[in-house]
């Protein structure tokens, strides 16, 4: 007897291919579905998520498994949501992570809605993340067993309505185990390579993309230190990210790092490593996975970038939905536009986009090194 109908978001890669095979073995009625995403005109064959070659592999996997396969055109939606999010993020001086918008609005809204329209009970992806379900309780989201491949950071955006329909069959596996399963099943994607590049950039430098689509973001301006003293010229604020050291072209007695991007004056602010570190950040309105915002400050761990290590922090929810996060030690790469994702014992509690940072904790919000209660 079938455990239910599940649509697997396929990409032609090893992870989604194994996810489909495992769910079929577990007794689900599996359907493969692949999104055709937007690509820059003339670069359609280079979008790593949906090249013609990747589409062909996904079809072969579906054929080998004996499951239906559908290709869904999401080009306009992807452009209007994800590419616009990318461009707008840089226009406001941030460093956006478009994978957050893609997972929230394309994969887990646009595609999920089409899966449900086919009568599916679930949608599955090849993400490395775990869920737990208990009767009469919210679905809980946990980082994967393979912490090197864990993708819970980009999935903190999912709400309970979406998690109720979600399956992540790879969460308990390591990447080598997944490749071994693919090889054992002789799946065409068993030896496929991985890429961490943004799919719609098609392997090009993001600055070249910005130069074509928002050239005003690549206008030169002054590089100044934290006191406002001019030190040189930058090549456009969007060409730099917080914490960057190389490529500044400024001779100095000690290494200089990007501290901030002042879009109002088109100035790039640089400083020493001591000036770079921040102990506090404020988020935009938070998304809590349980959909219940904590009422009191609490201790947790926070990731401020996808590849960052979790750092001990005191999280203070604010009445307007935002949060203040105070860190036990300064973090050098607090970057507006990236997400600050909150973890507790491996569980993803929620997250929000970083709106601002401070270099020193204030009297009102101070993380005490002895872990005593924070002064409010």
Please, what are the domains in the chain?
5-201 (3.40.50.620), 219-272 (2.30.30.280), 277-358 (2.40.30.10)
Which tops the pLDDT comparison, 362 or 200? Answer: 200
Q: How far is residue 143's CA from residue 195's CA, in Å, rounded to a whole number?
A: 21
Active site residue 199: yes
Compute the distance between CA of residue 70 and CA of residue 80 in angstroms, rounded to an integer.
Answer: 22
Percent of the chain with pLDDT over 90: 72
What would the mean pLDDT of 4-8 be, rounded to a whole number?
98
What pLDDT, in 10s, does the model give residues 160-177?
999 999 999 999 999 999
> C-alpha dihedral over 55, 184, 6, 65, to 10 degrees?
60
The confidence score (pLDDT) of residue 47 equals 66
Which tens digit of pLDDT belongs to each residue from 10-23?
Answer: 999 999 999 999 99
102 catalytically annotated? yes
Residue tagged active-site, from 49, 50, 99, 199:
199
**Exposed e or buried b for every residue in 342-351, given b needs 16+ CB within 10 A?**
bbeebbbbbb
Q: Please check whether residue 300 is in contact with residue 289, taking contact to mean a CB–CB distance below 8 angstroms.
A: no
Task: Tell me what pLDDT residue 196 has.
Answer: 61
Catalytic residue among 49, 50, 99, 102, which?
102
Q: How far apart are CA 261 and CA 242, in angstroms?
A: 8
Structure tokens at 47: 């979008």
Mean pLDDT of 61-83: 95
- Strands 287-288, 230-234: pairing kind: unpaired
Distance of CA 63 to the CA centre of its chain: 31
User: What is the average per-residue pLDDT within 282-294?
Assistant: 96
Question: In the predicted model, is pLDDT for residue 219 greater than 80?
Answer: yes
Q: What is the pLDDT of residues 110-143, one digit of tens each?
A: 999 999 999 999 999 999 999 999 999 999 999 9
Is the model more confident about 282 or about 203? 282
Instruction: Give residue-wise pLDDT tens across range 316-362.
Output: 999 999 999 999 999 988 999 999 999 999 999 999 999 977 644 44
**pLDDT greater than 60 at residue 88:** yes
> Three-class SS of residue 184?
helix
Distance of CA 179 to the CA centre of its chain: 23
pLDDT at 46: 64
Mean pLDDT of the chain: 90
Query: φ, ψ for residue 171 (rounded to 5)?
Result: -60, -25
Q: What are 328's two structure tokens?
A: 């036990």
The overall pTM is greater than 0.85: yes
pLDDT at 367: 39
pLDDT for residue 45: 65
What number is the average pLDDT over the span 198-226? 87
State yes or no: pLDDT of 92 exceeds 90: no
């Amino acid at each position: 007897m079938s455990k239910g109908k599940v649509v697997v978001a396929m990409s032609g890669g090893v992870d989604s291919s194994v996810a489909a095979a495992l769910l079929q073995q577990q007794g689900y009625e599996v359907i493969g579905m692949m999104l055709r995403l937007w690509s820059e005109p003339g670069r359609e064959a280079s979008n790593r998520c949906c090249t013609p070659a990747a589409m062909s592999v996904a079809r072969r996997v579906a054929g080998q498994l004996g499951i239906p396969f559908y290709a869904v055109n999401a080009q306009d939606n992807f452009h209007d949501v994800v590419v616009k999010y990318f461009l707008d993020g840089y226009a406001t001086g941030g460093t956006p992570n478009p994978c957050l918008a893609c997972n929230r609005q394309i994969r887990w809204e646009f595609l999920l809605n089409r899966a449900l329209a086919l009568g599916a009970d679930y949608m599955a992806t090849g993400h490395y993340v775990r869920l737990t379900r208990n009767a009469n309780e919210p679905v809980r989201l946990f980082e994967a067993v393979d912490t090197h491949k864990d993708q819970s950071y980009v999935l903190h955006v999912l709400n309970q309505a979406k998690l109720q329909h979600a399956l992540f069959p790879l969460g308990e596996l390591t990447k080598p185990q997944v490749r071994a399963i693919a090889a054992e099943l002789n799946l065409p994607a068993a030896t496929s390579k991985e890429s961490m590049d943004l799919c719609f950039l098609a392997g090009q430098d993001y600055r070249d993309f910005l130069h074509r689509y928002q050239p005003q973001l690549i206008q030169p301006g002054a590089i100044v230190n934290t006191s406002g003293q001019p030190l040189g010229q930058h090549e456009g604020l969007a060409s730099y990210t917080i914490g960057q050291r190389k490529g500044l072209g400024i001779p100095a007695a000690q290494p200089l790092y990007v501290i901030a991007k002042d879009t109002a004056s088109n100035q790039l602010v640089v400083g020493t490593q001591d000036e770079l570190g921040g102990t506090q950040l404020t988020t935009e309105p938070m998304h809590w996975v349980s959909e219940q915002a904590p009422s009191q400050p609490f201790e947790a761990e926070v990731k401020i970038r996808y590849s960052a290590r979790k750092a001990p922090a005191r999280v203070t929810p604010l009445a307007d939905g935002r949060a203040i996060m105070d860190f036990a030690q300064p973090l050098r790469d607090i970057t507006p536009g990236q997400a600050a994702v909150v973890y507790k014992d491996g569980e993803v509690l929620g997250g929000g986009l970083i709106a601002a940072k401070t270099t020193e904790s204030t009297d009102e919000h101070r993380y005490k090194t002895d872990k005593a209660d924070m002064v409010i």
